[in-house]
Amino acid sequence: MDDRGDYGGAGRHGAFSEPFGDETAPGPDLERAGVHAVALTWVDVAGITRVKTVPLARLREVAERGVGMSPVFDVYLVDDSVTTSRHIGGPDGDLRLKPDLDRLTVLAGQPGWAWAPVDRHHQDGRPYEACQRLFVRRMARRAAEQGIELRMGYETEWVVSRGDTYACTGPAYGMARVVELSGYLDDVHTALRAQGLDVLQLHPEYSQGQFEVSLAPADPVGAADEAVLVRETIRAASLKHGLTASFGPAVDADSVGNGRHLHLSLWRDGRNLCGGGDGPFGMTPQCEAFLSGVLYALPALLAIGAPSPASYLRLRPSRWAGAYRCWGPENREAALRFIAGGPDDPQSANAEVKCFDPAANPYLVAGGVIAAGLAGLDARLALPAPVSGDPVRQDKDRLPTSLTEAVKAFSSSAVLREALGEALFDAVIAVRTAEVELFDGMPPQQLAEATRDRY
């Protein structure tokens, strides 16, 4: 759930630390910041952030040559068991993880550590065809070839507990929760700011012990990087206070779950194409066609954005989760919510995809949404009539109610198959199918408990 739509503004790249202060010594600026080691992360198909760490003294060498890691992690499941696919699986092969030093960040919540996301390459230097981060970069480049710049921002929800109980007892959106956990929330704010992340807001959410943080827009790769960094920063701050942060789609099977909504806007030559036009609620034709493509592809996109069997414990009607395949202006029950911005500020207009959650790989989400939107542009699609009120009362199309249904829709999507490429597309199907089998027949509460702390 969210209360603002501040995602139409100027993009940014964040304030990241300079990796090297001069050419004679590795990382003197980082040394002065007390950094001893660097965490190099990527996110696998199951949505788990995996890592290799290297000592600071090796960072320059690793930036040039990479560090090794097996490709088999692209077919790991959420419980660390392994499946296989036509292109990926088994013990053979090796990749090189190459850190993006433009994103290198001193971790405010983990003294002695810095962080950088990686791109993955074959041993001979070729880009690895199943690298999710390279996938979203490729999709952003496709959009740029059509003169379109995407700006994106994620809202991340999580639940805080202490042992077997929720860490606070105040009501939804209540100031009491902020008072109860003011020191903890101050540490979260402080750490995010120290890492150059532009927080728009942080507030208590609907479920017990639940909070949400929203970041300002960035380029698609940067937005996904920041989603990873936000989660690990919150995790570190939580542990410091003796708390556990749960990012699973469902923490309790009978309560509102955690979402990770995606906001996006389209820009051309400094103009926001989501506002100032003569289409629905001020959209330009390009914006309408792009959002139509996203709306059309949502059943298939759920296999990326709601990737766990537990995601469908969350994706229920009348919970502001976006369970229906419809759109509407400021409609928090629609899967696609449109925020027109103020009449004197069309530059702030943007759209929000509400049906995604934190189990998703944010790179796959951003890239998949761009691919679907560009297909809508190519086909010059138009949006159906907008929906106001709760769609549960209007006989609207329900999105898939299980991961099995979502995988079926994904498997038949020619747009996503072409965009992801055969290796990554097949890996998604293999992991999703294996997780359906892994949790088959498990009672809802047991499913929530098995997944809530894995992400």
Nearest to 296 by CA among 339, 333, 325, 256: 325
Contact 131, 139 (CB under 8 A): no
| Res. 383: pLDDT tops 60 | yes
Which residue bears the tokens 């469908």? 312
Element spanning 81, H or E:
none
Contact 105, 195 (CB under 8 A): yes
Q: 280-291: per-residue pLDDT in tens?
A: 999 999 999 999
Q: 392-429: per-residue pLDDT in tens?
A: 888 779 999 999 999 999 999 999 999 999 999 999 99
Band of pLDDT at residue 2, cut at 50, 70 and 90: very low
Distance of CA 307 to the CA centre of its chain: 12
Express as a percent the part of the chain with pLDDT over 90: 90
Number of Cα atoms under 13 Å in the Cβ half of residue 170 = 18
The β-bridge partners of 119 are 98
φ/ψ bin of 282: left (φ > 0), alpha (ψ from -120 to 50), beta (otherwise): left
Distance of CA 331 to the CA centre of its chain: 21
DSSP state of 6: -
Q: What is the mean pLDDT of the chain?
A: 93
The β-bridge partners of 53 are 39
Interatomic CA distance for residues 241 and 253, integer angstroms: 26
Distance of CA 27 to the CA centre of its chain: 30
Query: What number of helices (H) and strands (E) belong to the chain?
Result: 13, 16
Q: Where are the beta strands (DSSP E) in 123-209?
A: 149-162, 165-166, 199-204
Q: What are the Cα distances from residue 194, in Å, to 12, 190, 233, 406? A: 16, 6, 11, 39
pLDDT at residue 13, as a whole number: 42
Q: 35-91: per-residue pLDDT in tens?
A: 999 999 999 999 999 999 999 999 999 999 999 999 999 999 999 999 999 999 998
Residue type, 188: V
Radius of gyration of the chain (CA): 21
| DSSP string covering 288-323 | HHHHHHHHHHHHHHHHHHS-STTHHHH--TTTTS--
Domains and CATH numbers, the chain: 28-128 (3.10.20.70), 136-451 (3.30.590.10)
